[in-house]
């Protein structure tokens, strides 16, 4: 019986150690992983690798997570890829990235998942498995909103 190809996850975080951590966590659980340290790198990686899931840190210098998210959700080719927001900032009224996202969510669909730092590895894995288990039916629906 042929083994199915590994699902690909793109980890976007400017914290090197978090990239290493999530990479090993996902690899250990059967995923293949690419890392990007900022929004620009992430855009290149997503075009190149077409991952099955993106975990995205919202607070990054330069091209922020929100900018990257808006860029992929406005692209017909990429909009169907599920995205999980990973941030130390939770809830409205917090620092500006989350606030900015909530204030502009009319223009972009909500993310497929939201994981708060410190990351609960079980929760993160469960979410990753769920979002990559089926086909891209769910995200396709989200993509069609655009």
Partner 1 sequence: MPDQTDQHLAAFNALDLSCSELFDEVPCWISIQDREFRVVKASRKLIEDFGEHRLQACYKAYKGRTEPCAECAVVHTFEDGKDHTSQEVLFDKRGLPHSVMVNTRALQNRAGEIVAVSKVFADISSEKELMNRLRDSLVRFHNLFDNAPCFITVQDRKFRIVEANRRFEEGFGDGLGTRCYETYKKRQDRCPKCPVAETFADGQVHTSEEFFVDDHARQVHVLVYTAPIRDATGEITSVMEMATDVTEIRTLQNKLANLGQLVGGIAHGAKNILEGLRGGVYIVNLGFRDNNQEDIRTGWDMVQRNVGRLSSVIMDMLHCARERSPRQLPVSLPDLLKEVLTLFAPRAAEFRIKLEAEADAAVEILGEPKDIHSLFSNLVTNAIEACNADQNDQKINRIVARVFQELDAAVIEVEDNGAGMDVATREALFKGIVSTKGNAGTGLGLLMSQKVVTEHGGSITVRSELGQGSVFTVRLPLRRQADFSSGEVQHGN
Q: Does 126 bind partner 1 (CB under 8 A)?
A: no
Alpha carbon distance 15, 62 (integer Å): 14
Q: Does 122 bind partner 1 (CB under 8 A)?
A: no
Judge whether 43 and 68 are in contact, CB under 8 Å: yes
How many of the chain's residues bind partner 1 (CB under 8 A)?
26
**Min CB(39)–partner 1 separation in Å:** 10
Options 29, 48, 74, 95; binder of partner 1; rule CB under 8 A: 95
User: Minimal CA–CA distance to 66: which of 101, 102, 18?
Assistant: 101
| Strand arrangement, sheet containing 113-116 | 31-36, 7-12, 53-57, 83-87, 113-116
Q: Does 99 bind partner 1 (CB under 8 A)?
A: no
Alpha carbon distance 106, 86 (integer Å): 20
Provide the mask over 3-42, with x wherever binding to partner 1 is found by CB under 8 A and - wherever it is not: ----------xxx-xx-xxx-xx--x---------x-x--
Options 59, 80, 98, 132; binder of partner 1; rule CB under 8 A: 59
Residue with Cβ nearer partner 1 (38 or 80): 38
**Min CB(103)–partner 1 separation in Å:** 18
Place of tokens 């290149």: 44
**Min CB(125)–partner 1 separation in Å:** 12
User: Minimal CA–CA distance to 44: which of 68, 76, 74, 67?
Assistant: 68
């Amino acid at each position: 019986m042929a083994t199915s190809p590994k699902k690909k996850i793109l980890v976007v975080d400017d914290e090197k150690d978090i990239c290493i951590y999530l990479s090993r966590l996902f690899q250990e659980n059967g995923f293949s992983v690419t890392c990007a340290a900022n929004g620009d790198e992430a855009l290149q990686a997503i075009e190149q690798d077409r991952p099955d899931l993106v975990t995205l840190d919202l607070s990054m210098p330069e091209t922020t997570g929100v900018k990257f998210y808006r860029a992929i959700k406005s692209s017909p080719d990429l909009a169907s890829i599920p995205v999980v927001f990973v941030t130390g900032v939770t809830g409205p009224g917090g620092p500006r990235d989350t606030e900015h996202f909530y204030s502009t969510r009319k223009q972009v669909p909500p993310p497929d998942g939201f994981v708060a730092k410190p990351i609960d590895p079980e929760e993160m894995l469960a979410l990753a498995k769920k979002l990559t288990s089926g086909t891209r039916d769910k995200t396709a629906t989200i993509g069609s909103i655009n």
